[in-house]
Chains A and B, each alone.
Chain A
Amino acid sequence: MAELDEIIHQPLRLRIMAALNALPAGTGLEFVRLKKLTGATDGNLGAHIETLARAGYVMVDKAFVGKKPQTTVTLAAPGRAAFARHVAGLQEIIAGAAAKPPEP
C-alpha cells in the first residue's frame, strides 16, 4: 500500500524537499537560492521551512556572512528517508494504476 507523507505532500514543501534531496548529504541551500529555485515568496517559504524543521526533516542554520545574515537549509537524515518513502509511494500509485485492467 502506497504510503504518502502528509507533511511532504504539500506542493511547495515537496519542491523544497526535492531541491534539498538533490544535494549530497550535509550540503545545504541558502534561503535566497531556495526561494529562486522554488519560486516561492519570502513569507511562504519561511513558513513551510518551519513546518519541515518542526517535523525534523530539515535543519535551519542562521549565520552572518560579512554583515549580511544568511539562512541555510539542510536536509536532515529523517527528512531524506521520509522523502525517499514519499517518492516510493508516488511510484507505487502510478505502478498500481498501470497494472489495473482498463475499465469497460
Chain B
Amino acid sequence: MIDHLEAARALDDIEDITRRVRQSQLYRLSSLLMILWGALVLAGNLVTYLTPVYADKAWLAVYGLGIAGSLVLGATEKARSGMGSFDVRSLLAFLMFFAFGFFVETIGHFGPRQMGAFWPIYFMLFYCLAGLWFGIAFTIFGLGVIVLTLVGYVFIGPAFPLWMAVVNGGGLILGGLWMRRS
C-alpha cells in the first residue's frame, strides 16, 4: 500500500508523460508540414527572384499546393496514428488565415517586397502563438524567422527573395527536420 504523496507523484508522472506523447505526435505532424511548406516557399521565392513576371502565379500555386498538401498529410497522419489532426475546422482556419492576409495585403497596397516580408511574419506569428500552448520550439523558431525576415527587409537589396528562400524556405525545412528529432 502506498501513501497519498506517492499516489500523487504517480498521477503527476502519468499526466506528464501523456502530455509528452501528445506533444510528440503534434511535433511529428508539424515537422512534415514545415518541410512541405518550406520546399514550396523556397520554390516560390526562387521563381520570384529569377522570373518576377510569374511571381503571382507561383505564389497562388504555392498556397494551393500547400493547403492541399497539408490536408493530405493531416489525413495520412490521422490514419497512421489514429489521432485527429485535420478536419473541416482546420480547412476553415486555413481559409480564414489566407483571407485575412489577402485583405491586409490589399488595403495596405503592398508591393512585392512588402508582401515578401509580410507573409512570413504573418505565418510565423501563428508559430509564436502556437508555442505558448504546444511547445516552446514553435515560438523560438517563429521568432527566429521573423527577426531574419526583418533583417533581410531592411538590409538586403534586390536579392531579398533569395534571402527569403534561404531564411523562410530553408528555415522551415531545417526547423521541420529539427522538430522531427525533438
Contact = CB atoms under 8 A, between A and B. Distances in A.
B82 A38 contact: no
A contact face: mostly helix, strand, loop, or mixed: helix
A4 B2 contact: yes
Contacts of A96: 4
Contacts of B8: 94
Contact of A15 (B4, B17, B22): B17
B82 A14 contact: no
Given A97-B3, A97-B4, A91 B11 contact: yes
Interface of B: 1-4, 7-8, 10-11, 13-14, 17-18, 20-22, 24, 81-83
Contacts of A59: none
27 contacts: A4-B1, A4-B2, A11-B13, A18-B13, A18-B18, A19-B17, A19-B18, A22-B17, A22-B18, A22-B22, A23-B82, A23-B83, A27-B82, A27-B83, A29-B21, A36-B24, A37-B20, A87-B14, A91-B7, A93-B2, A93-B3, A93-B4, A94-B4, A94-B7, A94-B8, A94-B11, A97-B3
Kindly state the interface size class of chain A when it binds its partner: 20 to 34
B contact face: mostly helix, strand, loop, or mixed: helix
Contacts of B24: 33, 36-37
Interface of A: 2, 4, 9, 11, 14-15, 18-19, 21-27, 29, 33, 36-38, 87, 90-91, 93-94, 96-98
Given A37-B17, A38-B17, 17 more contacts: A11-B13, A14-B10, A14-B13, A18-B18, A19-B17, A21-B18, A22-B21, A24-B83, A29-B21, A33-B24, A37-B21, A87-B11, A90-B11, A93-B7, A94-B7, A97-B3, A97-B4
